[in-house]
Amino acid sequence: MPRAAELKKGQIVQINSQPYIVSHIEVKSPSSRSGTTLYKVRFNHVQTKQKLDQSLTGDDMLASIDFQKRAVQFLYLDADGYTFMDNEDFSQYTLTAEQLEDQIPYLHDGIAGLYGLIVEGNLVGVELPAVVEMPIEETPPAIKGSSASARTKTARFATGLEIQIPEYLETGETLRINTETGKFMSRA
């Protein structure tokens, strides 16, 4: 049984005997010394996608639920949504844009390390790897003579993701991006 302080985005828990997936966590630290940290958590029901917002303290316990975590591969995007294939039994699952929300900018052809969260035979969410590698689609050229300062510029990727990168990087270079923070890590 996970505590509220241990919750992570994409984790599945049981609330009122129903399966919910964690979609957003906001941590509010108190200003006084004796106050407890509050966790404002948004859950989405696994089947109905209904939202449930709760404020929890760090020691609140949540019931865990039985689910499978299986390696999946991103296949394609069409009008129905994002289609994934189970790497073991080759079954295909489709998720909508609403189910994936913040993960969409990191989904590209050839992404490795994806895991599908399967409850009762249905794919309910995808867990991204901690780091993805993507080539820069477009970025302005570097300004000559400005290498002494740590200035940044915006880079755009094929998925629509935009992040700040060091000024010396150029279009076409492959970068490593942290999926948790959405920040540049290094060249690939």
Domain end call among 127, 143, 169: 127
Residues 146, 183 within the same domain = yes
What pLDDT, on a 0 to 100 scale, did the predictor assign at position 9?
Answer: 79
CB-based burial, 156-178: b 16+ in 10 Å, e otherwise: ebebebebebbbebeeeeebebe
Q: Within 10 A of 48 (CB to CB), how many other CB atoms are there?
A: 8
- Higher pLDDT pick, 147 / 26: 26
List the domain range (segments joined by +) for residue 74: 68-127
Q: What percentage of the chain reaches a pLDDT higher than 90? A: 38
Residue 129's alpha-carbon distances to 3, 63, 79, 133, 139, in angstroms, are: 23, 25, 25, 10, 25
Separation of alpha carbons 139 and 141, rounded Å: 6
The CATH number of the domain where 24 resides is what?
2.30.30.30
On the question of pLDDT at 138 being above 90, the answer is yes
Residues 148, 118 within the same domain = no
On the question of pLDDT at 175 being above 90, the answer is yes
Domain end call among 64, 87, 107: 64
Considering its fold, how many domains does the chain have in total?
3
Reported as a single tens digit per residue, the pLDDT across 68-118 is: 889 999 999 999 899 999 999 999 999 988 888 788 999 998 898 999 888
Residue 54's alpha-carbon distances to 11, 13, 78, 119, in angstroms, are: 15, 13, 34, 22
Which residues, 6 or more positions from 10, have their beta carbon under 8 angstroms from its beta carbon?
21, 22, 117, 125, 126, 127
- Helix, strand and coil content of the chain, in percent to the nearest 5, comes to 5, 50, 45
pTM above 0.85, yes or no: no
The CATH number of the domain where 162 resides is what?
2.40.50.140
